[in-house]
Structure 1
């Protein structure tokens, strides 16, 4: 329930239905005796009080999904595609409202929030098209029979999404689930639930039947236990940290659910001596500082070859020192706040630890004057493996520079972690282009580009960065089961 004056003041253009945002079960707003606060990290203001739901409501949501599943799976792919197209159109129409909600609850610059709404909508549009492409096959047999393979929805889905991309991480899961004919209960982060509620309301307006797409929030462990342990939940999908992902995967084992895990990373970004300097700097900024460095695919370790090192550091520091930092709802900014005080403490702790282990601060390295949760865009040189930031995701606007001499050394450093989500490399050498791309132990590689996220390509990692893929035509497979049908023929 969006009812705090501070929120309404900064979102005066919102359509009336958005002002009633609440958890949604079976098409109705869910209520509870207790509430929890949603806080704007840029201002520390309470912008909403949300019903605090728990295990009972999660059970009710799954029951609602199960009731709705029979009819939803029976709808034609054509009908599901039309509904998803309607949802896409409504999201696009509400772009500015959704962006303001996102900036208010998450803190990212308004321009980035608008971009995320576009990105979120792209998944809905893409899977509206893919809904009609869940093709089967006929397999030749040596016996007097025919073998048909059909693909059917897996069933009821449980999903948990994070705070750093409150819209895109939802549509990347919900759109393919609905396209496949599944029903779904979503638990967004309690830090950023308002975007989820708005998207769910738009889905209802688009024609998604009650009970097909439910959204609940509150007691995260209790809700998570239901979604991972309930025997009627056939598939569970999660985006978040590796540690939490391991716990949730274990909880799914008792019912042998289908599982998709998009987990943490420790992305290396390699800049070789032959790279285009301007392209490498822009790519590093895009990867490292987007969303204030709070992305699982951001460059956590920047490896720069010795011949390029000094020029790259100088150019990068000059660029980020001119960033406009502040509240995204009060003007044009390039960087917003960190999400919580704990997040701030981790970022600052990584910088202090790096300095203790020999790093030099080139620019930044302190709290920004914009507010308690704002951290200065920071460049460090002299980074090494003894530092915490070499092993842990910083999840903040800190660019540590590691110097290397040879390609072999760079690849060894890049692959020296248990995670393998994304990696980046900048080079103008065509042979090196292929060698590096094939040698990096990650699920995604950006070559001469700081972006690896698009609805048309599979998104996901290897090693401890997860299981499964989201986006692209492969994303639909995560919500479908194959069934073989053997048809015997009588001989004439």
Structure 2
């Protein structure tokens, strides 16, 4: 049966102002399984006005920091209780493995608990005044209404890294999920009601970027945009936000190097390379899509790499045996197939895969290209799919230069048993995150974000809440004198 979702605006479940709806599809079966409201500028305005009203008036505006923390803890408990159902919805909507989505959703409550604990730790300061008769202090205040825009690859996990710190800071939210994966976000909205959040604090709208996403970004009562997505979309969000001096956090793409030296534990490095690119079928911004192998181990490493990756099981993402699921969307599937043709046309050697899977649908075989040079498009452009580019290097100096020769700077991996080299590489690589002898390790307490075209700002950790706070300086004159030589005194 087709399920019909509604949007959450101001505490009410509503249809789009236009009355229009659109379908969402299961990438594994190719079948439509639900319909959602197709929001537009009117719906964007209604959601922002609801969030602004909650920010300025009503219970949320008067709630203490400890009170916000208590609501977040209750929300975390509800997230834990509903993790299974939410994970199944995400698998149905984006085709990723239940093993991955289940693990993400079971970990998600920690976002709520972590920022619940930080809510009442937001403190100002009392700097000493530089003149007599004044008491000076600073306040940390919420930046305002925040629009959170998240993509289709890990909808709720990427949502939580934005929403939880924003709520702890005292902001209110309008969430715009991808049109491909809106169902789990709308289901998640139900938990806010159950947790007791006041109406309008958390709103969810569904629809397409130009129709509702752009009006949200441009709305005059929106103070900040927190966006995760591709480089071009992020650039557009940044340009629109800059026109109105809105704050932004942008978590964008990557072309991350995974570097293996000849002293590495080869088996661990092979497994790390396979997991780094083929987990989530390569549909992750931190994918280790460029594998750099030192000359002396290149051939035997590639041989083992092809053997391990070639044994990966493709199939139903709900099955425990499946290791690679379908590509989440048809446009993304078409893009990956195009890049495979580009790589072959540029002269890269296809050591594994290189075509659509015999399973049909939106499955693509895990693909490895060797003989790749840095100037090839598969070595410089983000594919966001199960395609690995293998490059050779001689020494540290050469690989650092090649690894950094990219407009991206999100993540990097280094495999070595030399501790000195590990420290040197972590300092030299231009990436917001560097993993040593592991790959794709993330945690709520560690900041997440990149350099260069990979984004602006950081999510997670204590740094994650800073982007949702403003600092206000207060000067209190307690002796009756202005203390300002430029103010004229009135006689008589």
User: TM-score, normalized by length of structure 1?
Assistant: 0.94
Residue of structure 2 equivalent to 1:82: 70
2:217, 2:241 within 8 Å by CA — same for their partners in 1?
yes
Summarize the alignment of residues 144-155 of structure 1 with structure 2, pairs less than 5 Å apart.
144=132, 145-155=134-144
Residue from 101, 108, 116 that aligns with 1:120: 108
Aligned residue runs from structure 1 range 294-443, under 5 A? 294-443=283-432
CA contact (8 A) 1:73 1:182 kept: no
Q: What residue number does 1:100 align with? A: 88
* Mapped partners of 1:125, 1:317: distance in 2: 42
- Equivalent in the alignment of 1:9: none
2:439 maps to 1:450: yes
Shift in Å, 1:434: 1.2
The equivalent position to 2:22 in structure 1, one of 27, 30, 36, is 36
Aligned equivalents of 1:174, 1:159: Cα separation in 2: 7
| Residue in structure 2 matched with residue 182 of structure 1 by the alignment | 171
Larger radius of gyration: 2
After superposition, the C-alpha distances for 1:364-408 in whole angstroms (9 at most, x for unaligned) are 222112222101112221111232211111111111111111111
Aligned partners of 1:415 and 1:128: how far apart in 2? 38
Kindly provide the CA deviation profile for residues 142-187 of structure 1, in whole angstroms up to 9, marking residues without a partner as x: 3122221110111111111100111101111111111111101010
Please list the CA deviations of residues 58-117 of structure 1 after superposition, one character each: whole Å capped at 9, or x if unmatched.
000001011111231321111111111111111111111111101000001111110121
Residue ranges of structure 2 left out of the alignment (5+ in a row): 482-492
- Contact 2:91/2:98 (8 A) holds in 1: yes
In the superposition, relative to structure 1, how do residues 23 and 82 fare at CA in structure 2: closer, same or farther (>3 Å)?
Answer: same
User: Residues 228 and 248 of structure 1 are in contact (CA less than 8 Å); yes or no, is this contact kept in structure 2?
Assistant: yes
Query: Aligned-pair distance for 1:20?
Result: 6.4
1:27 matched to 2:11: yes
In the alignment, the residues of structure 1 paired with residue 213 and residue 329 of structure 2 have an alpha-carbon distance, to the nearest angstrom, of 22
Structure 2 residue aligned with 1:141: 129
Is 2:232 the partner of 1:243? yes
Q: Structure 1 CA distance, aligned partners of 2:190 and 2:211?
A: 24
Q: 1:446-469: per-residue Cα shift (whole Å, max 9, x none)?
A: 111102422111111111111111
Does the C-alpha gap of structure 1 residues 34 and 68 become closer, same or farther in structure 2, counting only changes over 3 Å? same
TM-score (norm 2): 0.94
SS of the equivalent of 1:139 reads coil
Unpaired runs of 5+ residues, structure 1, are 5-18
Look up the match of 2:220. Answer: 231
Do 1:116 and 1:168's aligned partners in 2 also have CA atoms closer than 8 Å? yes
Cα shift readout 1:271-309 (whole Å, capped 9, x = no counterpart)? 111111122122222221221100011112111111121
Match of 1:51 in 2: 37
Deviation at 1:345, TM superposition (A): 2.3
1:301-355 CA-partner distances (Å, limit 9, x unpaired) = 1111111212221222221222121121355311111122221222222222222
Distance 1:355 1:210 in 2: 54
Deviation at 1:357, TM superposition (A): 2.5
